[in-house]
Structure 1
Amino acid sequence: MPSILVRSLLVLSSLGLAQDALPPSADRPVDFREEIKPILDARCVSCHGPDEQKSGLRLDAKEPALLGGDLGPAIEPGDSASSYLIHKVAGFQGESIMPPEGDPLSPAEIGLLRAWIDQGASWPEEADDSTPERRSSDHWAFQPITRPEPPSVHHEEWPRSPIDRFILARLEAEGISPSPEADRASLLRRLSLDLIGLPPTPEEVDAFVQDDDPGAYDALVDRLLASPHFGERWGRHWLDLARYADSDGYEKDRPRPDAYRYRDWVIDAVNRDLPFDRFTIEQLAGDLLPDASLEQQAAAGFHRNTLTNTEGGVDQEEFRVAAVVDRVNTTGSVWLGLTVGCAQCHSHKYDPITQREYYQLFAFFNTADEADLPLAEPTADDEAKEESVPRIRTFAEQPPDRRRASHVLIRGDFLRPGDPVEPGTIAVLPPMEPSGDRADRLDLAEWLMRPDHPLTARVAVNRVWYHLFGRALVPSMEDFGTRGEPPSHPELLDWLAIEYQRLGWSRKELIRTIVRSAAYRQSSAVREDLEPIDPENVLLARQNRVRLEAEVIRDVALSASGLLTTEVGGPSVFPPQPEGISELTYARSARWEESQGADRYRRGMYTFFRRTSPYPMLTTFDAPDANVCAVKRSASNTPLQALTLLNDEVFVECSRALGLRALAEDPSLPADRAFRLALGRLPTPEESALLSGLRDDLLAAFRADPGAAAAFLGDEPIPGLVPPEEAAALVATARAILNLDEFITRD
C-alpha cells in the first residue's frame, strides 16, 4: 500500500512538473482545420505520414494518430500534460525534441496543440487525409473523361455538328426551340471580332452577304483563322492568364524593355497553331528541352511574368518565394482550374489538396533561377551600357549539387520551413511518371498533358467556349473544384475535351469546329419567351451579346476610322494618355514619351502596360492589372467609359478621321457611311433620320460659332470644298456613333 501511494505521488508530482515546465495551453477554443492540421502537416507528416511512420506513429490521419505508435498512445484526449506528443515537441524531461530538423515548435504552437488535446482532440472526418474523400473523389471534375455519344434529337434539320445535338437535346427536354440563324452581316461581324478582334470592312460585308455559295461561311472561317491578326486576338486572351506586363510591379515598377519577346512568342505560336500540349510544355519547361532553341527559352518567360521587387533593403528571399507561390497558383488556375492557392497555409477546405501536396508543386518551381539570355554577343558599347543588350527572359534550372531544398512552409511563412518535400503532384489526380530520379518542370508539363488527365482538356475547352459564347460551360472558370459551379452541358464539355485531343490539340481546329455549329450561328436577339425560363441563357437557345474587351474597343475605333496600324509584333508603344498618369509611379520617375507616326495607332495589345500606372483607357474598360493570373475579365458599366469614348485623345482623333473619311467616301450621305464603317451595317430609316437630325442640329451650332468648328477639326485637312462647319458637324456625329452601345458590343 505505501508503495502504491508513493508511486501515485510520484506520478502526480511528475504531472505537476509537466504543467509547470510545458508551455501553457491556449485559453480559447481551437479549430483543428485552421490551427492544428497545418502544424501537423508542416512539422510532423514527413516522418509520420502515409509514406513513412517512424516509431510506428502516423499523424496525418485520425484513427492511427489516436491509436499511437510503438511507444503507445501519443495523444491522450482531454489530457495534454500526459500526451507523449506534447512531451516530444516540447523536449520535456530530456526527451529528444521533435521535429529533429529545422526550428522547434514555438511556445504558441505547442499551446495550440495542448489546447486541442485538452478540448478532446476533435478531428473532423472531412479533415482526415486517410478518408476516401481526401485521396479520391466522386466529384465530376476528377473523373476520367470519356467520349459521350451525341444524343438523338427530334429536329434533325437543325444540327450542323455533334455540338448542336448536345445543345438541342437539352432544349427539347425543356420544350424550347433554338433561335434562327443571325443575318449574314451580323455573322460576319461576330466572326471577325471573335477570331481576329477587328471589324469587317463594308466591302467585305457586301461580298459575304451577296455570296450564295454554300461554302462561303466555311471559307470565311478559314480566311480568318489564317489571318496574322488571329494570333493577336487569341494571344491576348492567353496574356491575361500569363499576367503579362511591361514592368516589374511593386513600388519601383521598373520597365522590362524585353518583356515583349514573350508576348510576340505567344502571338507567333498561336498563329502557327502550335499544339496546346507543346504550347504548354514550352512555357512551363522550354528551358529544359534538349537543345532548347531561343524561341523555346523565350516561351519559358510565361513564369517570368511574376512581379519583381527591386526596392532597397527588402528581403529578396521573401519576394523570391512570393514569385514561386504565384507560379504554383497560376499553374493551378490555368491548367487545373483549381484554387490550389487555398492549400498554401493549410490543406484545402473543400478540395482534396493537402498542404503538403501544395509544397510538392512548389518544389517544381523552387529550383529554377531567373535568367536573362542575350540574343547576340554584346559589343564593347553594349557592355558599357548593359541595358542596351537585347535579352530573353527565361529560367535556368539549378544543378543537382546546388539544388535549393523545398519545405512545407508553416502557415505559408517563408521564415518557418517545416518538413522537406520533393516535387510531386496531387494524389486525387493520375500519378506522375518522372523521367529521372527526381521529377522536374518538364515532367510536370508532360503530366498535365497526359491523355488520362481529367482536368487539363476540360479546363482548356471551357475557356475557348467562353470566348466564343460569352458564357462558359463551367461558369466558375477558375474553380472546377467542389465549390465551383457544375457544367451546364457536362456531356458536351467531355465531348469537346476528347475532340480537342483527337484534333492533336489544335486550337484552330477546335475553334473551327465550334464556330461552324448551328449553336454559334444563332441570333443573339433577346426572346421574351425565354425570360421566365432561362433569363441567363444557360441552355443556349440563342447567342449572347458580349461587351468587347478594352483593347478591342480601341482597335475597332482605329479600324473604322482608317487610322489602325496593322503591323504585328514588336516593342510596346506609348499612345497618348492624360498628363500626369505615369508620374503617379514611384518618385515620379516614370516618363511616358508619346509614340508618333504609325506607332501611335498600334493595336491595344501593344500598349506599354505599367503595373502601378496602367494605361487608363484599358483599365476603364476592365483590363486586368497583370499582378495575378486573370482567368476571366469583369465587365463593368460606368460613366467613365462613355466619357472615355467621348474625350480620350485617341478616340477624339478617331472620330475626326471617321467623319472626314465618310465625307470623302460618300459626300451625299456621309453620316450613313460613318455609321456603316463603325457598325458594319447600314442604318435603318429611323436611325438615318436620327443621324440627319443630329447632324443638322450640330451644323446649326457650328454655323453660329465658326471658330468652334475650326478648333474642333484641328489641323485635319477637309476633303473637297466642304465648309468647315459641315465637316465639324459630321465629325461630331461620328463621335456620337463611336459612343453607341452597339459599337462596343459583339452581337
Structure 2
Amino acid sequence: MSHLRLVQPIGTAFALAICLACAPARAQSAADVEAFEREIRPLLVEKCLSCHGPEKQKGGLRVDARAPLLEGGDSGPAVVPGKPEESLLVQAVKREDGLEMPPDAPLSPKQAAALERWVASGAAWPADGAPAVETRKEAWARHWAFRPMARPEPPDAGDASWVRTPVDAFVAEKHAEAGLSPSPEADRRTLIRRLSYDLTGLPPSPEEVAAFVADPDPTAYEKLVDRLLASKRYGEQWARHWLDVARYADTKGYVYGREERFFVHAPAYRDWVVKAFNDDLPYDRFLLDQIAADQAEPDDPSALAALGFVTLGRRFLGVTHDIIDDRIDVVTRGTMGLTVACSRCHDHKFDPIPTADYYALYGVFMNCTERLVPLAEPSGSEAERAAFEAELKKRRDALESGVASAREEASRRIRSRVADYLTAQLDLSKVPADGFDVILYADDLVPASARRWQAYLAAAAEADDPIFRPWRRLAAIPEAEFAARAAGVLAEPDGSGAAPVNARVASAFASPPAAMAEAVERYGRLFAEVEREWAELRKADPAATALADPDAEALRKVLYEPDRSPCWIPDEPIVTIEAFLDNNQDVKLWQLQGEVDRWLMQSPVAPPYASALTDRAEIREPRVFRRGNAANPGDLAPRRFLQVVAGPDAPAFANGSGRLELARAIIDPENPLTARVWVNRIWAQHFGAGLVRTPSDFGIRSEPPSHPELLDWLARRLVDGGWSTKTIHRLILLSSTYRQRSNGGGPDDEKAKLADPENRLLWRTNPHRLTFEEARDSALAATGELDARIGGRGTPLFGGAENRRRTLYGVVDRQFLPGVFRVFDFANPDLHIPSRSETTVPQQALFAMNHPFPAARARALAARLSPGDDDASTRAVFQAVLQRDPTADEASAAREFLADAAAAPPPAPPAESLAWSYGCVTVDPASGPSKDFRPMPHFDGQGWGGGPQWPDPVLGWARITAGGATPGTIRPARSSGAGSRRSAA
C-alpha cells in the first residue's frame, strides 16, 4: 500500500533528530567547556543524576550526556542551545509553568543563573571523555522489531539426519554455537498425546494411540499431523488461544441494573473464530474482518460476526473513553505487539509512540457505532419462525418507538435552549467531561449536546460559516477589550470569495453588543424567531419541507438538519446515544433494549446475531486530551497509522472513520510487526514460550528473540505462503526440534542445564501443563461423556444441569467469573491476555478432592469397568485416562488400595455430615458458631436464588442443616479461592 513504509526504519525526522542530538556544541570555546566543568557538571551530578542518570530516568529524561539532554524526555527537549526561554530545564529550575526541579529544594539564584548562561551560550559539552549514552531515538532506530523483516536463508545443516525442516537448521546453528546437542526423539505414545493436546486440546483415544504406535508407515507422523489439523476439534482449541487475546466474555462486566448483562453476539464471534481456524482463513483476512468486516466484506453478512473482536470488551459503565481505550489496546497489542494504550496520557516512555498517535487511533473508533444484525434466518418450523418474528417485531417496535420519541424530545429541548448552549461555550471548563455527566432531570443542560455545539461551532469557524461569522469574531475578543473592539470586528470586510453574512444575522448585529453575553441573547432570540416561523408554517402546511426565505431556512437547518445540526440526536442505538438523554429516558430505553436482547438469547429458534461496527454518519476529527483528560482537549490529531511503522509523513485516513485503512495498514506485508507477532504466538503455544517471551510487547523493553533469523524466516513464510496458519503449524510440528523428549537424554544434558537452564536454545522440549479447559475436557473424554456439539450459546459449566460440552462453550461471566476458573489460571476476561499464568496452589488439589465434577467423572468411569477383575479394571482406567498400561508399581499400588477398601469399608457418616460433603469443619460445642456465620443463597452460575446453601466455587456446595448452625453441627471450612464468599472458619 502506498502510505505504509519503513523509513530506515522509523522516519527521516527521527534520523535528523538523532544527528542534531549527537552533534557537538557549535563553536564552543575552551572557556565554555571549562565553565561547564566548573559550574554545570557538578550541579547536574549533585542535583539531577539520582533521578535522571544511568540507573533511573524519571519522565524519560537523562542528563549525564548532551545528546539525551537535547532529546529530552516525555515533555520534550530539555535543552535548546542558545534559547534558554525555550528550554524546559531552565524553566524547571526557575520553577515556571508548573515545572519545579529539583523537587525538594530549589537551586540558589546563582546556580539557576549559571545554568541559564550555559544554555544561552550554546550548552557546551566536552567532546572527549563524555560518557557514551544512547538516545532513545538511536535505540528505536536499531530495535529489532521496528526494522524490516529480513529474508534469511536456513543455515547449512550440521547433522543432516536431525534437520528435518528449516526450523531445525536455525535451531541446530544455535546448538552448535553453544556446544550443545539436542535430545533424542520422544516415543510415539508421547508424540501422539503431545500433538493431540497441542492441536485439539483433547487426548487421543487408546485405540488411536495403539494404532499410531504400531503403524509401520514411515510417514505416519506426517499423516497424524495432517489429520489433527483437519479435525474440527483443532478450531476449538486454537480459538480458545485467540479468545484470550481478544478478552472474550459472554457478559459486559458490571453494568447498571437497567441494562442486560449478557451480550447477544458473543457466541457468534466465538463460533466465527472456531470456523476461521478450521477453514485456515488467511491470517491477514482473519485480522481484516475482525477490524473492518462491514467494509472489507460487504457482500458476506456472516463475516460481521468477526467484529466481536472489537465490540466484546468490557463496557466500563458506558464511559466512552475507556471503551475506546480498550479497543485500541486489544487491536494494537493483539495484532502488532505494541502497547499503544500507554500513550493515552503522555508520549510512550519507552517506544516511539507519541500521544498524537494514540488519539489518531482514538479518532478511528470514536467515529464508529454499533448495530445488532442477524447472521441467518430463524430456525424451526414455519409456525415457530412466525411466532418468533411476531414477538421480536413487537419488542423492536416498542424499542424503536421509544428511541424515536426520546430523540425527538431531547432535540426539542435543545432547540428551545439555544442561548443556554451558546452560553456554555463561553466557559467549557464548566461542562463535565464525557463519562462524568449524569443527566438526572429533563431540564438539565446536556453536556454531550454542549460538546456537540462546540464541535459544530469549531467546524463553522473553520469554514467561515456566514451564520456564525459574527460569533467567531466576537468570541475572539478578550473580555476586557470587548466594548472597545466589538464594532470594529463586526465591520471587518468578508474574506475574498466568502459568502456574505446571513441577512437575518446581519440585521441582529446591526449594532455591536456590549458583551459576549448580549451576543448570546441575540443569537438565542434569532433562532427562537425562526423556530416560531417554522412551527406556524408546519401548522398551516404539514407537508412543508423548508421556509421560503433562504436566510431563515439556513438558520432553520442549524436547528433541524439531520446529522449536522448541533440539536440533532444521532440515529444510533441506545448504547451510543444514552449521554444525550436524561436518566429516566435511559432507564426506559435500556429496559426496552433488554426485552429485545433477552428474546434473541432465550428463543430456541433465534438466529445468531452480530454487533456490527459501522461508521457514524458525521465524521469528527479527534483532539489530543492533555494528560488523558477529556475536559482538557489540545491539538487536532488527524486519523492515521502509527508513525513507528508508516513514518512521520503518513497520510491521514480519508475514508469514513479510517477503520478499513487501519486494518489494511496492520496487515500490510511490509509492516514488520504483524507477521512476527502471529508466528511468535503460534510458537509459544507449541513450546511453552515464544521466540520472543513477551508475545504482546515487541517494544524496546522486550527481550530480543532467542532465534531472530528463525522468527523472520517464519514470518516471511507466513506472508509468502498466503498467510496460512496451518502451514506454520506443519513447519513447526514436523521438525525434530518439536519431537524431542522433554526430559533430555542427550550427551550434553548436564552442560545444557548449566548453560541454558530455561531451555531458550531448545535442546529439549518443554513439558506441556494442561490448561483448565484441557483438564476438564480430558476428564469428559476419558469417561466417554464429552458432548462434541460445535457452536451455539454457552451454558454455565457448574451449577444446575450438568454441562458436558467442551469448556470452550461454557459461559464466561466477567462479573461473576467462577472461582474455579481463577484457581486454574483462566484468562482474565477483562483484559487482553497474551499468555496465561501457571500456578500451583492448594485450591487446585481441593477441587480435585471435593468438587462434584471430578467425583461425578470418577463414578462415570467406574461404571464402565468390568466387575470382578481388579487388574483388568486398573488397566482400563489407565488406558482411558493416560492411554497406557500402568507400571508394575502403579498396578501394585492399585491392588493394595482396592484390597484395603474392601477389607475396611468406612463407617457411614452421620446424616448431618452428609449434608456437608464438601470441605467442612466442626463447630466447637463450647463456643458455638462465630458471629459472621450466615446462611447464603444458592448461586446457580447465573444468579443468586434457591434455598439456603453455602456456595464455594472451589470446594463445592454445602447445604446448611435445618435450624442453621448450632453447637455440635458442621460448618464450611474457610476457602481462599478467588471469588468465594467469606465463611465462618
Q: TM-score, normalised by structure 1?
A: 0.74
Identity of aligned residues (%): 37
Distance (Å, rounded) in 2 between the aligned partners of 1:668 and 1:321? 64
What is residue 808 of structure 2 aligned with on the other side? 605
What is residue 192 of structure 2 aligned with on the other side? 188
Tell whether 2:739 aligns with 1:555.
no
Q: Which amino acid is the alignment partner of residue 344 of structure 1? A: R
What is residue 653 of structure 1 aligned with on the other side? 856
Distance (Å, rounded) in 2 between the aligned partners of 1:180 and 1:605? 35
Q: Is the 8 A contact 1:369 1:398 kept in 2?
A: yes
Q: Could you report, residue by residue, the CA deviation over 1:574-602 in whole angstroms, capped at 9, with x for unpaired residues?
A: 2324xxxxxxxxxxxxxxxx235xxx101
Q: Which amino acid is the alignment partner of residue 443 of structure 1? A: E
Alpha-carbon shift at residue 405 of structure 1 (Å): 3.3
Question: Which of 395, 409, 415 is matched with 2:613 structurally?
Answer: 395
What is residue 533 of structure 1 aligned with on the other side? 755
Q: Which amino acid is the alignment partner of residue 427 of structure 1? A: Q
Q: Is the 8 A contact 2:683 2:691 kept in 1?
A: yes
What is residue 367 of structure 1 aligned with on the other side? 367
**Stretch deviating more after TM superposition (178-187 or 650-659):** 650-659
Alpha-carbon shift at residue 60 of structure 1 (Å): 8.2
Tell whether 2:210 aligns with 1:245.
no
Q: Could you report, residue by residue, the CA deviation over 1:410-449 in whole angstroms, capped at 9, with x for unpaired residues?
A: 2112222221111122222134567746771111111111
* Cα distance, 1:293–1:34 mapped onto 2, change above 3 Å: farther
Q: Which amino acid is the alignment partner of residue 817 of structure 2? A: P
Q: Which amino acid is the alignment partner of residue 219 of structure 2? A: G
Distance (Å, rounded) in 1 between the aligned partners of 2:673 and 2:167? 20
Question: Which of 657, 677, 682 is matched with 1:464 structurally?
Answer: 682
Question: Which of 77, 102, 106 is matched with 1:62 structurally?
Answer: 77
Distance (Å, rounded) in 2 between the aligned partners of 1:372 and 1:165? 50
Question: Which of 639, 644, 647 is matched with 1:423 structurally?
Answer: 639
Distance (Å, rounded) in 1 between the aligned partners of 2:277 and 2:861? 32
Distance (Å, rounded) in 2 between the aligned partners of 1:522 and 1:627? 37
Distance (Å, rounded) in 2 between the aligned partners of 1:407 and 1:134? 29
What is residue 141 of structure 1 aligned with on the other side? 145
Q: How many residues align?
A: 604
The SS at the match of 2:636 is: strand
Alpha-carbon shift at residue 34 of structure 1 (Å): 7.0
What is residue 473 of structure 1 aligned with on the other side? 691
Aligned positions of 1:575-594 closer than 5 A: 575-577=797-799, 594=800
Alpha-carbon shift at residue 350 of structure 1 (Å): 1.4
Q: Is the 8 A contact 1:76 1:82 kept in 2?
A: no
The SS at the match of 1:137 is: helix
Tell whether 2:905 aligns with 1:702.
yes
What is residue 569 of structure 2 aligned with on the other side? none
Distance (Å, rounded) in 2 between the aligned partners of 1:81 and 1:649? 67
What is residue 357 of structure 1 aligned with on the other side? 357
User: Which structure is higher in RCO with an 8 Å CA cutoff and minimum separation 6?
Assistant: 2
Tell whether 2:221 aligns with 1:217.
yes
Q: Is the 8 A contact 1:286 1:292 kept in 2?
A: no
Distance (Å, rounded) in 2 between the aligned partners of 1:195 and 1:242? 19
Q: Is the 8 A contact 1:360 1:424 kept in 2?
A: yes
Q: Is the 8 A contact 1:35 1:112 kept in 2?
A: no
Q: Could you report, residue by residue, the CA deviation over 1:167-223 in whole angstroms, capped at 9, with x for unpaired residues?
A: 111112222111111100110000000000110111111100010101111111111
Distance (Å, rounded) in 2 between the aligned partners of 1:346 and 1:359? 11
Tell whether 2:278 aligns with 1:271.
yes
* Cα distance, 1:258–1:136 mapped onto 2, change above 3 Å: closer
Q: Which amino acid is the alignment partner of residue 391 of structure 2? A: D
What is residue 621 of structure 2 aligned with on the other side? 405
What is residue 68 of structure 2 aligned with on the other side? none
Distance (Å, rounded) in 2 between the aligned partners of 1:159 and 1:664? 50
What is residue 298 of structure 2 aligned with on the other side? 291
Tell whether 2:775 aligns with 1:544.
no
Q: Is the 8 A contact 1:666 1:673 kept in 2?
A: no
Question: Which of 774, 783, 786 is matched with 1:564 structurally?
Answer: 786
RMSD: 3.5
Q: Is the 8 A contact 1:462 1:474 kept in 2?
A: yes
**Stretch deviating more after TM superposition (426-435 or 617-626):** 426-435
Distance (Å, rounded) in 2 between the aligned partners of 1:517 and 1:76? 56
* Cα distance, 1:82–1:202 mapped onto 2, change above 3 Å: closer
**Stretch deviating more after TM superposition (369-378 or 224-233):** 369-378
Aligned positions of 1:23-422 closer than 5 A: 62=77, 78=90, 110-112=97-99, 133=137, 137-250=141-254, 252=256, 254-289=261-296, 291-310=298-317, 316=318, 319-375=319-375, 379-382=389-392, 383-384=394-395, 385-387=595-597, 388-389=599-600, 391-399=609-617, 402-422=618-638
Q: Is the 8 A contact 1:284 1:445 kept in 2?
A: yes
Distance (Å, rounded) in 2 between the aligned partners of 1:569 and 1:155? 46
Q: Is the 8 A contact 2:307 2:610 kept in 1?
A: no
Q: Could you report, residue by residue, the CA deviation over 1:690-742 in whole angstroms, capped at 9, with x for unpaired residues?
A: 2222222233333766999xx99x9xxxxxxxxxxxxxxxxxxxxxxxxxxxx
Distance (Å, rounded) in 2 between the aligned partners of 1:361 and 1:289? 19
Gaps of 5+ in 1: 1-27, 38-49, 51-58, 87-109, 126-130, 311-315, 578-593, 715-747
Question: Which of 665, 670, 676 is matched with 1:452 structurally?
Answer: 670
What is residue 801 of structure 2 aligned with on the other side? 595
Q: Is the 8 A contact 1:423 1:438 kept in 2?
A: no
Alpha-carbon shift at residue 665 of structure 1 (Å): 12
Alpha-carbon shift at residue 617 of structure 1 (Å): 2.5
Tell whether 2:839 aligns with 1:663.
no
Q: Could you report, residue by residue, the CA deviation over 1:642-688 in whole angstroms, capped at 9, with x for unpaired residues?
A: 11122222211111112222337977510121012101111111221
Alpha-carbon shift at residue 81 of structure 1 (Å): 13
The SS at the match of 1:519 is: helix
Q: Which amino acid is the alignment partner of residue 394 of structure 1? A: A
Q: Which amino acid is the alignment partner of residue 595 of structure 1? A: A
Q: Could you report, residue by residue, the CA deviation over 1:607-631 in whole angstroms, capped at 9, with x for unpaired residues?
A: 1111121133322110012001000
Q: Which amino acid is the alignment partner of residue 521 of structure 1? A: R
Q: Is the 8 A contact 1:34 1:346 kept in 2?
A: no
Q: Is the 8 A contact 1:345 1:409 kept in 2?
A: yes
